A = this chain, B = another copy of it.
Amino acid sequence: MPSSDDVTSDVDAPADFDLPRVVIAYVKPCLDAGEHAAKCALGHMMHVQAAVICDGHDFLKADLLYRRRGEEEWQHTPMKSLGNDLYEGDFTPEALGYWEYKVKAAIDRFTSWRDGLIKKLEAGECTPIDGEIGLPIFEGMIKACNRSPDRRHIEHVNSELELLIGDFGDASKEVIDKTRALLLDPEVARINHDLWTASETVESGTPLPLFVDPARAAFSAWYEFFPRSRWEEIAPDGNLKDCLPRLEYAAKLGFDVVYLPPIHPIGETFRKGKNNALHAEPGDVGCPWAIGSKHGGHKAIHPDLGDFKDFAALVDKAKELDIQIALDIALQCSPDHPYVRSNPEWFVHRPDGTIQYAENPPKKYQDIYPLNFECAAQEDREALWEELKSIFTFWIGKGVTIFRVDNPHTKSFRFWSWLIEDLRREHPEVILLAEAFTRPHIMAHLAAIGFNQSYTYFAWRNAREELDQYMTELTKGDLQGYYRPNFWPNTPDIYTDALQYNGRAGYIQRFILAATLTANYGIYGPCFELMEGIPLKRGREDYLDSEKYEIQTWDVRQRHSLGTMIRKINEIRKKHPALQQNRTYMHHSVDNPKMYAYSKTDPSGTDIILTVVNLDPWQTQTGTIDLQIQELGLRPDLPYQVHDLLTGKLFEWRGWRNIVSLDPRDIPAHIFHITQHVPETGM
């Protein structure tokens, strides 16, 4: 078999008298003409699509080529036609880091000839000449086989064919059947597909980049808590030592990433008081995002939380539980941060010599000094960027590989590009979650330049149409190739109306939506599972007495906690590959606008999960769901089994239309696992 390296690219050649005639276009995913890398997680399937077109009616064939960056040899897999000139292929990358892919295609001369020949034979319109036209094609195949073991098979088919050709004129049924058997042999099809001759083959230009990150970048359940908060009985001291049992709690609930807000020393100058008061009272603990004091900066641990030994114990415990610690990286400084004294050139200075604090005129944030990513002198910039990178590598050295990056959209995108490119070289295992709640193009760009996961607008999408439209945007458009949504029903800053006003059903609805719509999701607890919280004011999304500014006490042992339900749903997510990716999201209409039904399947289509949520937190809602059963690969003529994984109840459904009723006082959702028993036929 010829290696694909024999193939030369014709794409960049000027349009001249060159052949071949095939054109490859719209290779997807393709970010910014290949400037940025698409994403695929280890062990996940990478799907590539392209339009492959040609003049006339010839059959075409296409292969997806892929390799790790730097490797010589391309691996290849056939692409299958999706109709309308689109072809799709997939592969499962088996190593972290950069990969690349491209598409090659050619006219399939064998199949084009064979198809016409068989049609003519069957229509009684064939002549020996129509058969003879195929002989040079066989000759070409035999030559291309070279020393491959396939050669013998093609030679055999060729000589058998030659014996039949004479009878094509007025072909008997026997001749037709023999010819069909000979030419429709799948082994011939396989060999034919694998033969590529350079002069006939087109490739899709410069290979497109792909970054392969850890499996957890694509599928994860996050649990956020403040390490300084106090958990009655379980963790009364609010320090890192106390976090060990909390990790056990999170692991028991099925979370696999535990995210801690900043654990660094907190500034004292202009420290904010409780409820974000402009002035702190004595004893106020300050906001963890005002990083830096005499005790150190981004590479130090707040003395009240413990020391590096405690931190190492935490990381060890996490490893034991198969969960990961995610730290918060907020690249900003309190006025007391060591950088302010050691490197004043990294900050903006006002004409009076003072350092410019953060502001959004007329609002002032005097407890925060932003870093100046565009310091005038190149060497200062370089030193600043290197120092900031060293914060990441410092904590990587301590065993942390997941970081939630605070407000990345207020720091230079060029800095992030440089940092991510650099980190990936040594540490492809790192996962960065972009905490950017801003405008769509900016959020998309941060994902394009490499953030592995991204916060989203999920918290503010409540109606069915809003949710479906957003899911369609995230899973069906270009974003799908590089933007990994992480759905959070709440955060310390986002306490939504749905949680404030809709009671227990509101929490469950938002949790189930987050956990089943996207493969990555998270909650800020324990206030979430305990459903505790008072808004700062009517119409505000901040919590009153927020943990951001004071130490809270929680009792996670309370009986009304949603912990059991959360645990069950995390178990369902782990058991069902359908819920471990986003691209197969499919909306199914229900004739009641309060009912939202959507399915996901694994890439092979065998694991089918249908979620139905009653979006009304107060009333029982009933509706007829119009299931796209054929699109789900189900046979419409047979019943199918619908197993509610939340209650254990099993239903038998038939056909497209089935009635669903959900009482929000119970559980306002079904998570159905759908199976269908297809009997063996007697054929």
Query: How many of A's residues come within 8 Å of B, CB to CB?
Result: 63
| Residue contact B414 to A129, C-beta cutoff 8 Å | no
| Residue contact B15 to A417, C-beta cutoff 8 Å | yes
Q: In angstroms, how far is the closest chain B Cβ from the Cβ of A34?
A: 8
| Residue contact A442 to B85, C-beta cutoff 8 Å | yes
CB of A503 closer than 8 Å to a CB of B: no
Contacts of A378 in B (CB 8 A): 17
Contacts known (A19-B414, A129-B352); A442 close to B362, Cβ less than 8 A: no
| Residue contact B25 to A445, C-beta cutoff 8 Å | yes
CB of A418 closer than 8 Å to a CB of B: yes
Choose the segment among A90-98, A404-412, A507-515 that binds chain B (4+ C-beta atoms closer than 8 Å). Answer: A404-412
Interface string of A21-33 (1 = CB under 8 A from B): 1010110000011
| Residue contact A362 to B119, C-beta cutoff 8 Å | yes
| Residue contact B382 to A17, C-beta cutoff 8 Å | yes
In angstroms, Cα B23 to Cα A575, docked, is: 42
| Residue contact A361 to B439, C-beta cutoff 8 Å | no
| Residue contact B350 to A133, C-beta cutoff 8 Å | yes
> Of B120, B385, B413, B441, which contacts A55 at CB under 8 A?
B413
| Residue contact B359 to A116, C-beta cutoff 8 Å | yes
Q: A31 — nearest CB in chain B belongs to which residue?
A: B25
Q: Which chain A residues in 411-428 approach chain B with CB under 8 Å?
A: 411-414, 417-418, 421
Contacts known (A17-B385, A116-B361); A441 close to B53, Cβ less than 8 A: yes
Contacts of A55 in B (CB 8 A): 373, 408-413, 442
In angstroms, Cα B439 to Cα A596, docked, is: 35
In angstroms, Cα B51 to Cα A7, docked, is: 38
CB of A181 closer than 8 Å to a CB of B: no
> Of B132, B359, B381, which contacts A17 at CB under 8 A?
B381
> Of B84, B360, B411, which contacts A440 at CB under 8 A?
B84
Interface of A is mostly: mixed
CB of A374 closer than 8 Å to a CB of B: yes
CB of A86 closer than 8 Å to a CB of B: yes
| Residue contact A51 to B15, C-beta cutoff 8 Å | no
Between A23, A32, A117, the greatest number of chain B beta carbons within 10 A of the residue's beta carbon is seen for A23
Q: In angstroms, how far is the closest chain B Cβ from the Cβ of A104?
A: 17
CB of A56 closer than 8 Å to a CB of B: yes
CB of A631 closer than 8 Å to a CB of B: no
| Residue contact A350 to B129, C-beta cutoff 8 Å | yes
In angstroms, Cα B445 to Cα A117, docked, is: 30
Q: A134 — nearest CB in chain B belongs to which residue?
A: B351
Contacts of A54 in B (CB 8 A): 413
Contacts known (A23-B413, A57-B360); A351 close to B132, Cβ less than 8 A: yes
CB of A16 closer than 8 Å to a CB of B: yes
| Residue contact A21 to B373, C-beta cutoff 8 Å | yes
Q: In angstroms, how far is the closest chain B Cβ from the Cβ of A526?
A: 34
User: Could you name 9 residue pairs across A and B whose Cβ atoms are closer than 8 Å?
Assistant: A17-B378, A21-B373, A55-B408, A55-B411, A84-B439, A84-B441, A119-B361, A122-B362, A133-B351
